[in-house]
Amino acid sequence: MATFPRTKKTLARVALFVATLWITCALLSQANAQTDCVEGNDILDITPPKSMTPQELIQKFTARETALRDLRSHYTFTQDVLVQTLDETKVDGQFHQITQISYDDKGKRVENVTFSEEPTLRVKLSDRDMEDIRVFMPWLLTTDEAPQYELTYAGQQHVDDLDTYVFHVAPKKEEKNTHYFQGRVWVDNRDLQIVKLCGKSVPDAVHKKNQPLDVRPTFVGYRQFVDGNWFPAYVRVDDTLHFGVQSIHVREIVKFTGYKRTAPATATSRP
């Protein structure tokens, strides 16, 4: 997310209120909003998996993620995005958009916006924000993407009603003009598909002179069991983003609902 470029009039206001902003930032630093990645998690058990090595587990679950990616191209669904900025607990800006998602016969994503309101946010939604919504919030860790990442087995953890394997995920190296996921994923120990993820897209945008700052929020995402597979369902952001001396509390909820199969597809169903 980016701050809006400043006009001369805005810069004059900044000069008048800079002292106040420093005080505000100091207060915010004591009570910053932060996306909760541990909600629903029990204590992490660092015991290695019993039936296979971590590397074998990675091979199996990334293969299941690849099958899910192929399967999802035979579905339509609704993408519902709500973004809000807050002044303490009061909403002072909002953007809401609903999009119908489908795929053509070549597997290319097709978007049809059915509702969109004029944004009143104190931040500007950037192209990176839209990429987060399309790519990283519903992220699938497929076999072809796995070699780009360092996947480190962290342990086993009970999450809500599921038993999972936990992996730390970080890009091995960052190529220019390419974005990656960095964070943690929770893999269901029965279906071997990701059921929860928490992290952000990286790298952060390099700040350029006379360009607005673009800051990446941390998000937590959950999946829902649909037709024998775990489809992306719900993502939440609750973060305080820091733009120099200015800090803005941002809340975001993204829902992926109404999955409907449009054509026969080979599915890897729950055993």
* Confidence band for 1, pLDDT divided at 50, 70 and 90: confident
Give burial (CB, 10 Å; 0-12/13-18/19+) of 250. Answer: buried
Cβ neighbours, 10 Å, residue 271: 7
**pTM of the shown model:** 0.85
Comparing 101 with 31, the larger pLDDT belongs to: 101
pLDDT digits (tens, 9 = 90+) for 115-152: 999 999 999 999 999 999 999 999 999 999 999 999 99
pLDDT digits (tens, 9 = 90+) for 164-197: 999 999 999 999 889 999 999 999 999 999 999 9
| pLDDT score recorded for residue 51 | 87
pLDDT at 5 exceeding the cut of 60: no
